[in-house]
Structure 1
Amino acid sequence: MSREPEDEPALRAAGAEDTTRRQELAAFLRSRRERISPEQVGLPRGARRRTPGLRREEVAQLSAVGVTWYTWLEQGRAIRVSAQVLDAIARALLMDPAERGHLFVLAGAGDPRPDYDCPLRSPTALRLMHTIAPYPATLQNARYDVLAHNRPFAQVFGELTELPARERNCLWLLTTSSRWRETFLDRDEMLRDLIAKFRVGMAEHGAEPAWKERLDGLLAESAEFRELWERHEVATMSPHVKRYRHPEVGLLSLEHRNLWMAARPQAHRLVAYVPADDETERRLVRLTELSGA
């Protein structure tokens, strides 16, 4: 009696999951197509229209893809679809940011416009970030770019607005900044962990120009980064406590907490640096007093 290969159940499960995802993608595209009228996209309705919303050939025309190819996509066939084509379909179907993100997840592709859905710079997000004071806080994207930070963050880690835009990135600063190297007592461990998390993000977004540019820049800048990158380590996002030596108030033990601003993993987030002990709490308050804020 022959035995089933040990990896056969896993392969079958993966195949079933892929089939389910394609079917969900097909149903999602049909639902988005049927809700849009020809007039919304500048097409004539015509006298014999029976299909609710747009026809498949109209979506194909608006997306500049073949009718047969788009039909196969709506039928849930196992075909490869590029991020650029998904971008065109999302535009043709007038998808909002949430729908667009869902489309790319179902298609298993990275969004070539990762900042399309960027709620971080909204007044609400900025207000929340500043309200967290006297705790340091930042608004970051999945590449660890610091898009905004509050005053306590600048007091603890430095004023990032004085740096060129390409250097306002936690991974870049942890790799290249002498101040961060001296201030972060767990710097070597932090760098290794952050690189491992960045690799997880690269697996999803590596085809996107902004991600590739960030990786290429780090590889060119730092031999240390190149060595750690070659280890192929991966890590997940999780709360953790790190220690910092501040020249005015002394040791700060801060727990990193993430508040996700979008539904997708590895997405935009608010990062709060919360005191891990009472002494750090008092020292952060003292730092605020010293600054006169």
Structure 2
Amino acid sequence: MSDLVQREELGAFLRSRREATDPVSEGFQPGTRRRTPGLRREELAQLAGLSVTWYTWIEQGRDISVSRQVIESLATALRLTQPERAHLFTLAGLALPPSGPHPRKIDPLLERLVQELHPRPAYVMTPWWDLLAYNDGYAELLGGLDQRPEGERNILWLIFIESRGSELFVDWMGEARSLVGQFRATLAQYPDDPRGPELLKTMQEASDMFCELWDEGGISRFTSSRKKIRHPRLGRIDHDYVKLADAHDEQQSLIVFLEVERTDED
């Protein structure tokens, strides 16, 4: 597919989804002067946080660069299904987000423990950093986690692709390098799990920085340590964190953050 045809297909797909979206459900008045069904261009632009001119150019297939953030905003505003979302990313020439963890059952008591640890941030994850459960403390720490599609609730994805990840950690590069090293070790530990190669391919397509750190060939292991966090609302918060294995399922781990310091430092 040529670039021109792909841009035109992207515009046509967005237009079809816009016209299929009920304006009343999005808080707009139905009115009597609507010439087309669904949302107007300016209404979708408003919902997605874009200028009307910029969105119009996208829908018209203009030769402009469309960022991942813009595509994510449009997908959220249009409330696209997972297949529709994947199609939108493909038309925009962007790597698809992770497909999400394979369905796994969490012990109800473990999930209850995660919730009762609030306000301490806590979550349960797989060896591939897919989040299976988390409490409000962790959601608040990362910001916007509840609004992310299930497939993007993956710590690798959040660290490397979500802009808040790079802004959150004082030593982002150290966190990122350690995470990539742990990921390499996990691939060796579970060579028959298709989730690992799938996630590796996704990250290599989506992040140049991931590729750069991956090419370093480093290996890391999880160690309890201190995370230095600069939160946009709460300020500087340092946490010690610990990883606990589930006795009934070695591929599920509980991570708990313990606040140790809070200052007004930038």
User: Higher helix proportion, which one?
Assistant: 1
* In 2: Cα distance, 1:150 partner to 1:180 partner: 18
- Are 1:252 and 2:233 an aligned pair? no
Q: Cα distance 1:222–1:176, how it changes in 2: closer, same or farther (>3 A)?
A: same
The one-letter amino acid paired with 1:136 is P
Q: 1:243-282 maps to which residues of 2 (within 5 A)?
A: 243-262=228-247, 267-277=251-261, 279=262
Q: How does 1:105-120 map to 2 (within 5 A)?
A: 118=104
Maintained 8 Å contact 2:170/2:229: yes
Work out the CA distance in 2 between the residues paired with 1:225 and 1:231: 10
- Asked if the contact 2:131–2:153 (Cα under 8 Å) also holds between the matched residues in 1, the reply is yes
User: What are the Cα deviations for residues 151-179 of structure 1, in whole angstroms up to 9, with x where unaligned?
Assistant: 11111112423112221111111111111
Which AA in structure 2 matches 1:190?
A: E
Q: Does 1:135 align with 2:120?
A: yes
Describe the superposition over 1:171-230 as per-residue Cα deviations: whole angstroms up to 9, x where unpaired. Answer: 111111111111211111100000000110001223322111100000111111111111
In structure 1, distance between residues paired with 2:232 and 2:158? 18
SS at match of 1:201: helix
The higher radius of gyration belongs to 1
Deviations 1:42-86 (A, max 9, x none): xxxxxxxxxxxxxxxxxxxxxxxxxxxxxxxxxxxxxxxxxxxxx
* 2:204 equivalent among 215, 219, 224: 219
3-state DSSP class of the match of 2:241?
strand
1:167 and 2:149 matched: no
Q: What is the aligned partner in structure 1 of residue 165 from structure 2?
A: 180
Establish whether residue 238 from structure 1 lines up as the match of residue 223 from structure 2: yes
Alignment pair present for 1:197 and 2:182 = yes
Provide the secondary structure at the position in 2 that maps to 1:268: strand
Q: Where does structure 2 lack aligned partners over 5 or more consecutive residues?
A: 1-100
Q: C-alpha distance in 1, partners of 2:108/2:188?
A: 32
Distance 2:208 2:188 in 1: 22
Cα offset for 1:263? 6.5
Q: Which deviates more, 255-264 or 191-200?
A: 255-264
TM-score normalised over the length of structure 2: 0.57
Mapped partners of 1:168, 1:149: distance in 2: 10
Letter in 2 for 1:271: I
Give the AA of the match of 1:175. Answer: F
* More strand by percentage: 2
- Where does the alignment leave 5 or more consecutive residues of structure 1 unmatched? 1-113, 284-293
User: How far apart are residue 264 of structure 1 and its match?
Assistant: 7.2
* SS of residue matched to 1:134: coil
> For residues 208 and 152 of structure 1, what CA distance do their matches in structure 2 show?
31
User: Contact (CA 8 Å) 1:262, 1:269: kept in 2 or not?
Assistant: no
Identity %: 29
- In 1, the alpha carbon distance for the partners of 2:247 and 2:222 equals 15
Match of 2:61 in 1: none
Name segments (4+ residues, structure 1) moved above 6 Å: none
Number of paired residues? Answer: 164
Q: Give me the whole-angstrom Cα distance separating, in 1, the residues matched to 2:221 and 2:248.
A: 16
Secondary structure of 1:276's match?
A: strand
